[in-house]
Amino acid sequence: MTQGSREIERVGVVGCGLMGAGIAEVNARAGLDVVVVESSPAAADAGRARLERSLRRAEDKGKLAESADDVLARIRLVTELDALADRQVVVEAIVEDEDAKVALFRRLDAVVTDPLAILASNTSSIPIMKLGVVTARPTQVMGIHFFNPVPVLRLVELVPSLLTAPETTERARAYVEGPLGKSAIDCQDRAGFVVNALLIPFVLSAIRMFESGFASAEDIDRGLVLGAAHPQGPLALADLIGLDTVQAVAESLYEEFKEPLYAAPPLLARMVDAGLLGRKSGRGFYTY
């Protein structure tokens, strides 16, 4: 690949939790060279195990064009950000915490050597502008927001800030819709972007209904599945997203818009405080 072609071949991912592992997987399945950075050897081992489980499952179902081992061979898990120096795209997929993301983007700006590399965030709600302005290259910073489970869901939200260069957005679109085979939609840099700005108030409304005793979790979800043709009920969906993530997005939306429909119900806060985060903790509105 020549420097001028800007074809994406080398991708970095920071974080190998549920979202980071999924992002790494779809890139490796697309034939791209992937480096994943985790915070510790233990976290890297857990991320590798998560990737292996997902890829073995896909292989068993006949959904891989090659072996799981061949895909895994294109993923390198490390604990040092310096390993991202030659990446053409770096996707941040760490905890949904503004201070942590801002600190990471400062470090990525110093580490990634390609001046045209895209520094992207998978944030669900944090303004991209706040991440771009802490770098010396805000024109190359944008949101590339995948959806869980990443290997299954085709949508990606492309979120430029006011300072993102149009060329950066178009390169991101070519990367997402080309090798990754996803479908991209354009979003303004507003809390929640498109999907979560519509989805989270709906989920919060279901939580309030359950909290008030209006209906059981099972009946709320069955009502939407059987009565509105939703593939999954809102409380089961909250468990899948992670109740801590639902709360973080709700707080970001409320902070920006001050609309009551974005305010997190007390029950949600109590469940997060108790560690009842949904599928990833084994218990939320349902037990797993």
Catalytic residues: 124, 145, 157, 196
Q: How far is the C-alpha of 62 from the C-alpha of 104, rounded, in Å?
A: 37
3-state helix, strand, coil in the chain (%, to 5): 50, 15, 35
| CA distance linking residue 146 with residue 154, whole number of Å | 8
| Cβ pair 238, 244 in contact under 8 A | no
Peptide bond into 149 cis (omega under 30): yes
Give, to the nearest 10 degrees, the angle between helix 243-257 and helix 195-211: 110
- The answer to whether 160 touches 131, Cβ cutoff 8 Å, is no
CB 128 within 8 A of CB 142: yes
Beta bridge partners of 13: 36, 91
Dihedral Cα 197, 175, 75, 53, nearest 10 deg: 50
Residue in this structure with the two tokens 């502008």, named with its chain if needed: 129
Angstrom distance (rounded) from CA 281 to CA 104: 26
In the DSSP assignment, the letter for residue 149 is S
